[in-house]
Chain A
């Protein structure tokens, strides 16, 4: 081991020891990071990895690299990734907007009441895969079908008896976990192709 001695300038055993102990923290946290399943936990542990790597860069005298790691690697990239993970790990479900009842109950309450059993089934399953449901309302069936064909949403509820899902993987998950809910897979590209040829 000659490089730490050159860097530190003093040749004592304990200095070598703490240098090596600190450097060993980096692979340790990196191992923790790749072993995480939950994406949000992985983000926070990425922050820990950033803090420790900044420490090691400072330890080896690279003050500018340490500052960049703390500012860009920890602060900026974590924030951006949190926003990206939050918006990408969601299932966009299109539903029909209901007309108000005769008794005058508002749209929101009625919709929520009708969708409650579906969401109560769907939410625990999707939470297991670290996803969430995002509801989008459409005024009529034509608009809902159009949104599905234009890939604005991942699935629809209310067009037929079952859920219509256009993502194969999502369909597989729902089919496996909730067979009673019933979901049909729709290959949007193929449907479009058929429409063109007809």
Chain B
């Protein structure tokens, strides 16, 4: 179980590095999506290790709500990019 968590941390480091080095906002959003899923999965794994129902509940909520917030943010960014493109011509 501990090995699983350490492997998860290592997998989490890849999108963090990607978010740091990439200039394109959509690539950063992809990294964010990856991190949101991975942290929720880690919370669920921790809840199983501890046998804690409450933490597991929080993990499930974060898993579904984090995705919803990502969609909201993606739509706002898209609106912004459209406006920028419009003022160019």
Contacts and interface: CB of A to CB of B under 8 A. Distances in A.
A54 B62 contact: yes
Contacts of B73: 43-44, 47, 78-79, 82
Contact of A132 (B72, B79, B83): B83
Interface size grouping (class) on chain A: 35 or more
Interface in B53-68: 54-55, 57-59, 61-62, 65-66, 68
Interface centre among B12, B42, B57, B62 (most CB of A within 10 A): B62
Interface stretch (A61-69, A96-104, A174-182): A61-69
B25 A41 contact: yes
Interface string A41-83: 1011101100110110011010100110011001100110011
A15 B42 contact: no
Contact of A29 (B5, B16, B40): B16
B5 to A, nearest CB: 5
Chain A interface helix/strand/loop/mixed: helix
A52 B69 CA distance: 15
B35 to A, nearest CB: 5
Interface residues of B, number: 47
B20 A32 contact: yes
A59 to B, nearest CB: 6
A69 to B, nearest CB: 9
A67 B57 CA distance: 9
Interface stretch (A16-24, A152-160, A185-193): A16-24
Interface of B: 2-3, 5-6, 9, 12, 16, 19-20, 25, 28-29, 31-32, 35-36, 39-40, 42-43, 46-47, 50, 52, 54-55, 57-59, 61-62, 65-66, 68-70, 72-73, 76-77, 79-80, 83-84, 87-89
5 contacts: A25-B12, A38-B25, A40-B80, A51-B66, A66-B58
Interface of A: 12, 14-15, 17-18, 21-22, 25, 28-29, 32, 38, 40-41, 43-45, 47-48, 51-52, 54-55, 58-59, 61, 63, 66-67, 70-71, 74-75, 78-79, 82-83, 86, 112, 116, 119-120, 123, 127, 132-135
Closest 3 CB pairs of A and B: A75-B69, A14-B2, A55-B39
